[in-house]
Amino acid sequence: MAKVDEIFKANCRQILEHGFSTENEKVRAVWEDGTPAHTIKTFGVVNRYNLQEEFPLMTLRYTNWKAAIDEILWIWQKKSNNVNDLNSHIWDSWADENGSIGKAYGYQLGVKYKFPHGEMDQVDNVLWQLKNTPASRRIMTNIYNFADLTEMGLEPCAYSMTFNVTGNRLNGILNQRSQDTLTANNWNVVQYSALLMMFAQVSGLEPGELVHVISDMHIYDRHIDMVKTMLDREPLPAPKVRLNPEVKNFYDFTVDDFIVEDYEYGKSMGRVPVAI
């Protein structure tokens, strides 16, 4: 059975049984009808996913893995901050009339810096180090740029990656300040597992472990019943996920280069309310 589902269920039980409710606090997020979007939350969650054992694609319910990977390519490969370059509408509410989300996400990864080995952006620096100095303990990115926060449509939730090569395996730590558990947990895990796979393949490495560190992991009040429904479900076997082995350049990957086989998942629970 899929281990990712067991991790998700353990996180949700911890939140629901021992979490802190914000119902008496002033919160920023609201529902579409303007009602405050309160949460039950827990602090400091650390989850580990071994990509050698399985690709962590949830089976308790469907994760739109194609849209998730399209978004990670939009951020890390296209380095875009315009929703018109994205094949979904998940960012529309954060964009201006021109489709821009400001100096956020992909914009930050496209900014060039002067490194000892040349001037390049953060993504190209990671790729350079993985090929030339894989033993380095300084292979990392950070898009939480305080100087640009006031010009961002949304401050980054998943904001930094630290990469580490151990033997022939590429591991990564994803740091996230805030996470909507129902809508974003598996979405983020799929995205950064896919990123590890891509970086590993073009660097002659094997994907290893993704460590996901979440500061504030929460379940919104209008999501509680859906989460409880998922807790009653049994995980199904993990799907098989692989990459097109012909791709050798990170910037050549497309969503179609991800091959997902035998993906079974639980019945849809209908539209999930979105807090903004």
12 among known catalytic residues: no
Give the single-character DSSP code of 92. G
Report whether 193 belongs to an annotated binding site: no
Report whether 138 belongs to an annotated binding site: yes
Report whether 75 belongs to an annotated binding site: no
Report whether 177 belongs to an annotated binding site: yes
Cα 15 to Cα 4: distance, rounded to the nearest angstrom: 17
Q: What Cα–Cα distance (Å) separates residue 159 from each residue in 43, 98, 266, 276? A: 17, 24, 30, 19
Q: Which residues contact 66 (CB under 8 A, 6 or more apart)?
A: 255, 258
Report whether 215 belongs to an annotated binding site: no
In degrees and rounded to multiples of 5, residue 269 shows phi and psi of -100, 10
Report whether 180 belongs to an annotated binding site: yes
Report whether 219 belongs to an annotated binding site: yes
Task: Residue 113: count other Cβ atoms within 10 Å of its Cβ.
Answer: 10
Contact in structure between 140 and 113 (CB atoms under 8 Å): no
Report whether 173 belongs to an annotated binding site: no
| Identity at 18, one-letter amino acid code | H
Only one residue has tokens 């990392």, namely 140
Contact in structure between 101 and 95 (CB atoms under 8 Å): yes
Query: Which listed residue (120, 154, 157, 272) is catalytic?
Result: 157
End-to-end Cα spacing for the chain: 34
Report whether 275 belongs to an annotated binding site: yes
Report whether 64 belongs to an annotated binding site: yes
> Which residues are annotated as part of the binding site for dUMP?
137-138, 177-180, 188, 218-220
- Residues annotated as catalytic are 157
> Which residues are annotated as part of the binding site?
64, 137-138, 177-180, 188, 218-220, 275
